[in-house]
Amino acid sequence: MTEHNFEQMRRAMVSNQLRTTAVNDPRVVVAMGKVPRERFVPEAQADLAYLDAAVPLGNGRALPAPMVLGRLLTEARIRPGERMLIIGATTGYAAAVAAELGAQVTALDEDGVPVLPGVTSVTGALAQGWAGGAPYDLILFDGAVEEVPVAIVAQLADGGRIAAGIIENGVTRLAIGRKAGSGFGMISFADAEVPVLPGFARPREFTF
């Protein structure tokens, strides 16, 4: 597969997967059309980088489909200069796109994140977030979770947002939350298939 082929696939992704699914922030479209997604998946999976599906990364992790990131960034209305934490950053694709949008990005994963221009890569437990860089204007979960820990909400600045796939009764919905004073709530806006992030399962209730 040549660089030219990947460029064609990237343009097709923008036309067929982003513009047709309400990814209508021109800045997000341009950034995702610029960042070479094939460089953020295992070499053997490069041909799958632009499919409308998650790309397996190994160890139970996967890179969400392009539409998922596009919708979350569009609804989050990310602005240049905002402090942003990406939880579950894996190979760094979402971090690279966010940096292209001008965010000051901290990328967190349990196994580390590749060094990227304009991105602070950190290693730690996903469910704890990264308090060292708080407060954040935006926290993006690059995957689906059953619940957002209180400790992570606490790392938001007042008026800050959280973007994530939220699992409810077996269905994953893309959602945006906003912190206002001591309050926080999330509103879902689209159903989507999103790879699950480890460590965010809701405690199971005992039944008799």
Structural domain boundaries of the chain? 3-191
pTM here is: 0.95
What pLDDT, on the 0 to 100 scale, is given for residue 203? 75
Q: Tell me which residue of 79, 72, 84 sits closest to 120, measured CA to CA.
A: 84
Are 46 and 1 a contacting pair, CB within 8 Å? Answer: yes
What pLDDT, on the 0 to 100 scale, is given for residue 206? 53
Q: Any residues with CB less than 8 A from the CB of 153 and at least 6 apart, and which? A: 162, 177, 179, 184
What CATH topology corresponds to 3-191? Rossmann fold (3.40.50)
Residues of the chain predicted below pLDDT 70: 204-208
What pLDDT, on the 0 to 100 scale, is given for residue 205? 62
Q: Any residues with CB less than 8 A from the CB of 33 and at least 6 apart, and which? A: 10, 11, 13, 14
Are 160 and 175 a contacting pair, CB within 8 Å? Answer: no
Q: Any residues with CB less than 8 A from the CB of 51 and at least 6 apart, and which? A: 65
Residues 74, 181: Cα–Cα separation, whole Å = 24
What pLDDT, on the 0 to 100 scale, is given for residue 202? 82
What pLDDT, on the 0 to 100 scale, is given for residue 3? 85
